[in-house]
Structure 1
Amino acid sequence: MKAKLLSYIPRSTIQSYKLDWKNQLPHLSYTFAIESISRTCSHQLVRHRVASFSQQSQRYITVKRLSEKIVIPPTIKDVNIVNEFIKSSSNTYEQLVEKGVPKEDARFFLPNATETSLLMTMDGKSLAHFFGLRCCNRAQWEIRSLANSMLEQVRKVEPEIFNRIGPYCYQLGYCPEGRFSCGEMQETIERYVRDNESTS
C-alpha cells in the first residue's frame, strides 16, 4: 500500500480572509495517489462521498499475474489456502476472457483482495472527518494504515491544521464510540501526540 500527496491548496492562499482554522478547512483541497490497496479498502474509501475518485478500471485493463497483485490480511497465517483460492479465481478469470467474455463480466470472479489504484481528492473538512473515523483503532487495519500514512503527509505540509487531527478521540478528547470504544483512548491520544512531536 502506498499513498502519496500529489497536490494541495495551501492554507496560505486563504489566510487573508481571517478565518479560523476550522473555517478554512472546507476551502482547502488535497489530492492523493493511492496504490496497491485491496478492492475491499477502495470500497470503504468511496463511502466518503464528499470526495472525488478516479479508480483503476477492471473493465478495460486485463488483470494479469493475480497472485502477485493481492492484499493478504496479516491475520491470515495459512497462505496456502489463500493461494489455492487465488489460483482458482485467476484461472476462472483468464479462461472467461480467453473465451471472449468481456472483461467487465469476467471481473465478477476476481476477489476483493485484488489490488487497485486510485486518485482521491478531498476538501480539508472531509479529510479531517475521514481521519477521525479511519485512524480510529476500530477501523479495519488496511484503511487505518492508509489513513495514518495520509495524515503523516498532510501534517508535514500543514502542521498548524493537521497536528490537531487524528482519530476522533484525539480530536475531541473523548471517544464518540461509546460502548463500542476500543478501550485504549488514552494510549491512542498519547501516540498521536508523540507522532506530532516527531514530525514537528
Structure 2
Amino acid sequence: AIEKARHSNENIIYEMGHASIAEHAVFNLDLIDVSRLLTESIQRSRLASFTEKSQRYVTFSKDYLIPKELSRRPALKQKYCELMDRLFAEYETSFHALNEYYRTHKPELKPRDRECLAKEDARYILALSTKTQMGITINARSLEQLLRRLANSSLKEAIELKELIIKQVKPICPSLIRHTDPDGYRGTVDLNKVGFSGFLQQELPWLAEIDLENKARLISAPQNADDQILGAITYGDSELSWQDNMEIIWRLPRLSKEQLWQQVFAGMKSWHKVPRAFEAADFEFELSMSESCWAQFKRHRQCTILKKSVYPGNFLIPEAIRMIGREEKWNSLIKESISLADLIPPCIKEVQNYMKLNGSICKIYVKMNFRELYHFVRLRSDEHAQWEIREVSNAICEIVKKYAPNASRMLCGKSCLK
C-alpha cells in the first residue's frame, strides 16, 4: 500500500505537475547551532513558520560558527576567532553597563525589562556568525525548495544543513521530495562578466552616502490609492465592470466617499485585518536598516523583498551605547571586522558575511500592498516593538498617509487602537 501511494504521488506531483499535493505532508524541524547568517536563506521560505531564539530577550553566550572554508587557512582562522572572542566580550561588557545604566536612569523598570533593554542594544556588536536555534513547520513542497536553495549556496554550512535535513526526511517521504541537488540554475547575474561598469561606483563607495536618519525612501505609489482601494472594495457588489466601476468612484462626491470609508472602518479593532481589496494598491520603498533590524523585517516575507548583497561600510551604534561611553570601543571593533573581511580571498568571499555585525547597515527594496502595510505597521509601530524597526515602520507610515489619507486612517500600531 505504501509503495502504491508513493508511485501515485510521484505520478501526480512530478509527472502531472500537481505539486500542491505535497503540501499535505508537514514537518516540524528543530535547527540547532545554525549561524544568524544562514537564517536568511532558511527564512526566505514564504509558506513556512519559524520561531527563532531571540537576541532581544535571551542573553547569548560566546558561541559562534567557525566557517569550514577557513580550515585550510590557520592564520586567518585564528584572526577570525580572536575577533569573535572580542566581539562577545564587548557584548557582555556593554550588556552589564547598560543594565546598570537603566537601573539608575529607569528605576521604574522591572529587572527582566531592564535586562531586555540592555540586550536589545548590546546585540548590535555581535556578528552574523553567532549561533542560534529555530523551530520550523514546513510542508514538503516548500521544504524541497528550501533544500534546493541550500544546495545552491556557496556556504559549506548551508550544504551541510541540507544533507542533515535530507537524512532526516527523505526516508519518510521519498516520493514527495526529489529535486534537491544543484542543477546549475540560480537565476542570478554576475556584474563582473558584463562589459559595462555603470553598475559600479567609480569613486567613493555609495554606501558612505547613506543617510541613517532617512529610514525609508518612496520609489513608487499609486496615482490615487484611496480611489483604487475604494473601487476594489465596491467592485464585488457592483453590477459594473472593473473600469466602469472605477470611473464611478472617481466621479463620486467627496461626502459619498467619506460615508463609504466610515463603513469600511466601522468597529475595527487592533486584531482585525483590512479587506483583501486593500491589496489592489502597491507601494515600493528603498529602506536603510541594520542587520539586527533586518532580522525582524525579513519575517514579513509575503511581500516582495530584495536585499543588496554588497558588504556595507556604514554602521548603526545605538544611542544607549554612546550614553555608557562604549562608542570608541565599538568603532574600534567595527574597523577590525571590516579589515578582517578585506583579507578574505575572492575564492571564499561569501565568508565575509559571517563578519558582518548586527549593526551593519543594509539597503532593502520592498514592495508592499496596502493590506501588507497594515499588517506590518500594526505590529512594528506598536509601543512594544523594538525601537529601530519601529522607526522604519513609522517612516513608512508617514509617507503612506500622504498618498492615501483615507485608506490609511487606521494605519498605526496596535497600541494606538486600545
* Shared fold, TM over 0.5: yes
In the other structure, the counterpart of 2:217 is 4
Q: Check if 1:29 corresponds to 2:282.
A: yes
Aligned positions of 1:148-187 closer than 5 A: 148-170=394-416, 173-174=417-418
Runs of 4+ aligned structure 1 residues displaced above 4 Å come to none
Structure with the larger RCO, 1 or 2 (CA within 8 Å, 6+ apart): 1
In the other structure, the counterpart of 1:94 is 342
RMSD, matched Cα: 1.9
Q: Which structure would you say has the larger Rg? A: 2
In the other structure, the counterpart of 2:355 is 109
> In 1, distance between residues paired with 2:392 and 2:373?
13
Deviation at 1:8, TM superposition (A): 2.4
Deviation at 1:14, TM superposition (A): 4.7
Deviation at 1:147, TM superposition (A): 0.5
In the other structure, the counterpart of 1:39 is 291
Deviation at 1:27, TM superposition (A): 2.1
> In 1, distance between residues paired with 2:346 and 2:231?
59
Residues 133, 139 of structure 1: 8 Å contact kept: yes
| 1:15-59 deviation digits (Å, cap 9, x = unpaired) | 334164732312221111113x111111211101221111110xx
> In 1, distance between residues paired with 2:347 and 2:328?
29
**Structure 1: runs of 5 or more not aligned:** 175-200
> In 1, distance between residues paired with 2:358 and 2:301?
21
> In 1, distance between residues paired with 2:216 and 2:412?
17
> In 2, distance between residues paired with 1:52 and 1:7?
14
In the other structure, the counterpart of 1:177 is none
**Structure 2: runs of 5 or more not aligned:** 1-211, 236-263, 266-273
Aligned positions of 1:12-161 closer than 5 A: 12-17=227-232, 18=234, 20=264, 22-23=274-275, 24-35=277-288, 37-57=289-309, 61-63=310-312, 66=313, 69-77=314-322, 78-96=326-344, 99-161=345-407
SS of the residue corresponding to residue 301 of structure 2 reads: coil
SS of the residue corresponding to residue 54 of structure 1 reads: strand
Residues 62, 103 of structure 1: 8 Å contact kept: no
> In 1, distance between residues paired with 2:283 and 2:295?
20
User: TM-score, structure 1 length as denominator?
Assistant: 0.74
Residues 132, 166 of structure 1: 8 Å contact kept: yes
SS of the residue corresponding to residue 146 of structure 1 reads: helix
Deviation at 1:149, TM superposition (A): 0.7
SS of the residue corresponding to residue 89 of structure 1 reads: helix
**What is the one-letter code of the residue matched to 1:160?**
N
Deviation at 1:110, TM superposition (A): 1.6
Residues 25, 125 of structure 1: 8 Å contact kept: yes
In the other structure, the counterpart of 2:268 is none
| 1:106-163 deviation digits (Å, cap 9, x = unpaired) | 2211212111101111121111111111111211111101110110000001010212
SS of the residue corresponding to residue 411 of structure 2 reads: coil
Residues 30, 122 of structure 1: 8 Å contact kept: yes
Deviation at 1:62, TM superposition (A): 4.8
Residues 383, 415 of structure 2: 8 Å contact kept: no
> For this pair of structures, how many residues does the alignment match?
162
